[in-house]
Amino acid sequence: MYSRIKVPGKKHMAGLLLAGSLMVTAVTAVALPPEHEIQRLMLAVEESVKGENWGQAAEYLNRLQRIEGEKPAEYLYYRGEVMARSEHYNEALSALENYVAGTGADGKHYTDALKLITRIEQERSSQSGRSDQGGDEPVAEIAPAGAEASEGQGSMTGDASPGALVARLNRLFDQAGWRRDARLIREGSSPDVHYQVSVNNGELSFRESRQEDGRRQLSTITLPVYGISPMIEWSCENATESCWIYDPRDNSRFLRLGNDRDKADQLASTLGQLIRRLQRPSEGR
């Protein structure tokens, strides 16, 4: 960095000292206890959103996501708003719906979240209409219940049994495995990372099958269902051709999936339903 400054002198040295002091100040600011760092970054996100600096807001949200600790409810709202600006509508809807479900009508951004959910749905409908090569687009259409289901995997009702939810999760996992090279899918080949889930004594067991250096490795990841939020977050990134289901205990990356936003959305939603159902086993029985 400093090699670009050709003429040394007092001003140059003063500049170096100032830069050094700023670096120390920056490091000191970042080395806050997690609860204060979360609050600092939330304020930074809020200011970035007010200034419509969406790239900066996304960076602060990414940093927040990496911090262990409880985030304010507004974190989900801002995540949804920034994702919507990036046209990552599935992630945006997931975050906004979780915000509304978690805060209810008392949420600071409750009304704005509902309006944004509606705008996202309208935008997705508009995009679908623009890409439609068929005839005239209807002004409005209400699909019958289960019309969006594919291969018998329609959305489960709130009183679906744990067994039905587990079966649906495993069907989705079969279709959502991660591959190092998604372009090379040979008939009958297995993904590089694949999961199957089961329920055992109040916890979920995810059996992970991972291909490493030509060898298949098996391991089990457990997730207790009590004391955690059933609101499951997810995101996708093109850089690694991956989608991620986040751990509801600390919001860290948990399950790696192929880069299919619809499948990730369905998996997160169904997993949340299963957790909620297991937390209240007496309901619906």
Choose one of 125, 146, 179: the last residue of a domain. 125
pLDDT tens string 155-193? 555 568 899 999 999 999 999 998 887 655 555 567 889
- The tokens describing 117, both together, are 């959910």
169 with 245, same domain: the answer is yes
Residue 6 lies in a domain: no
Q: What pLDDT band is residue 123 in, cutting at 50, 70 and 90? A: confident
Q: Determine the pLDDT at residue 62.
A: 82
Q: What is the CATH number of the domain that holds 105?
A: 1.25.40
123 class by beta-carbon count within 10 Å (0-12 exposed, 13-18 middle, 19+ buried):
middle
Among candidate residues 125, 146, 173, the one where a domain is terminated: 125
Residues 37 and 83 in one domain: yes
Task: Please check whether residues 200 and 112 belong to one and the same domain.
Answer: no
Share of the chain above pLDDT 90, in %: 33
- Does residue 248 lie in a domain region? yes
120 with 167, same domain? no
Asked whether residue 114 falls in the same domain as residue 173, the answer is: no
187 and 271 inside one domain: yes
Residues 185 and 238 both lie in one domain: yes
Q: What domain range is 38 assigned to?
A: 32-125
Confidence of residue 58 (pLDDT cuts 50, 70, 90): confident
Q: Is the dihedral of CA 70, 239, 257, 78 positive or negative?
A: positive
Residue 47 counted as domain residue: yes
Residue 146 has pLDDT above 70, yes or no: no
Dump pLDDT digits (tens) for 9-25: 444 433 433 344 334 33
Q: In this structure, what CATH number is given to the domain that contains residue 180?
A: 2.30.29
Distance (Å, rounded) from C-alpha 103 to C-alpha 73?
A: 7
| Rg of the Cα atoms in the chain | 23
Question: How far apart are alpha carbons 99 and 231 in whole angstroms?
Answer: 9
* End residue of a domain, out of 98, 125, 152: 125
SS3 122: helix
Q: Is this model's pTM higher than 0.85 or not?
A: no
What are phi and psi for residue 74, nearest 5 degrees?
-65, -20
* Residue 17 included in any domain: no
121 and 166 share one domain:
no
72 and 169 belong to one structural domain? no
Q: Are residues 179 and 263 in the same domain?
A: yes
pLDDT digits (tens, 9 = 90+) for 190-225: 788 999 999 988 899 999 999 887 788 999 999 999
Same domain, 117 and 170: no
Is position 80 within any domain?
yes
| Count of domains forming the chain | 2
Report yes or no on 152 lying in a domain. Answer: no
Same domain, 171 and 243: yes
Can you count the helices (H) and strands (E) in the chain? 8, 6
